[in-house]
Chain A
């Protein structure tokens, strides 16, 4: 069974601080995605990373895919209250790329 371990589970920080969320697996993924989910809504795709070592930036968010395509990180610079939400990583297995294996999520609270 392929698993994605996400850490930390909860994070409460002050506005302006930086943070990093990690997503780790022993399995190789063909691609990895990060989603953000607000209460009462479905997850919304933030980014897809495909190439080992790839780094993508989306304003204050930086996403990295590990060289071996087994892990990923999300770094937020100068967090704002609007960043509050549940962040989910999801990997597409090599042998069944139509399927997404989701991590358990990181619940982020940014206090003003």
Chain B
């Protein structure tokens, strides 16, 4: 596709359940990022992939959060044992390279609601 796509667009889950969020980056973009955006706030960095490896996971809030990327393409963000404070919009972005100017292209996000 022409842009970054994410699925699902909305996810409602019960506290304690696991969720998987998917990101399809722009074809050819080697760098991929996950961010979290709480209501009315800016974006909080979660993790950065260069190719299939994640040199920076420093933004993951706890060990309940994990992410993987395969084929230098699709990435999945998994949240285990979801808590109400995990409710937010999770945004994925990709860029041509992880260095220099770092112009990132964002997907529409997945709105996660934990009841």
Write the residues of chain A forming the contact surface with B, with a CB cutoff of 8 angstroms.
4, 6, 31, 33, 35, 40-45, 48, 50, 88, 90, 92, 96-105, 107
Contact between A100 and B56 (Cβ–Cβ < 8 Å)? no
- Neighbour of A42 across the interface among B41, B44, B93, CB < 8 A: B93
- In the bound assembly, the distance between CA atoms of A42 and B102 in angstroms comes to 16
Q: Which residues of A contact B98 (CB under 8 A)?
A: 98
Interface size on B, residues (CB 8 A): 27
Contact between A42 and B109 (Cβ–Cβ < 8 Å)? yes
Contact between B104 and A104 (Cβ–Cβ < 8 Å)? no
Q: Which residues of B contact A103 (CB under 8 A)?
A: 42
Write the residues of chain B forming the contact surface with A, with a CB cutoff of 8 angstroms.
4, 31, 33, 35, 40-45, 48, 50, 56, 91, 93, 98-109
Q: Looking at A4, A43, A97, A98, which has the most chain B CB atoms within 10 Å of its CB?
A: A98
Taking A31-B102, A98-B31 as contacts, is the C-beta distance between A40 and B48 under 8 angstroms? Answer: no
What is the CB-to-nearest-CB distance from B26 to chain A, in angstroms, rounded to a whole number? 12
Contact between A92 and B105 (Cβ–Cβ < 8 Å)? no
Q: Looking at B40, B98, B104, which has the most chain A CB atoms within 10 Å of its CB?
A: B104
15 A-B pairs (CB sep. < 8 Å)? A6-B42, A40-B109, A42-B91, A42-B107, A42-B109, A45-B105, A88-B42, A96-B56, A97-B99, A100-B102, A101-B45, A102-B44, A102-B45, A104-B42, A105-B40
Contact between B106 and A43 (Cβ–Cβ < 8 Å)? yes
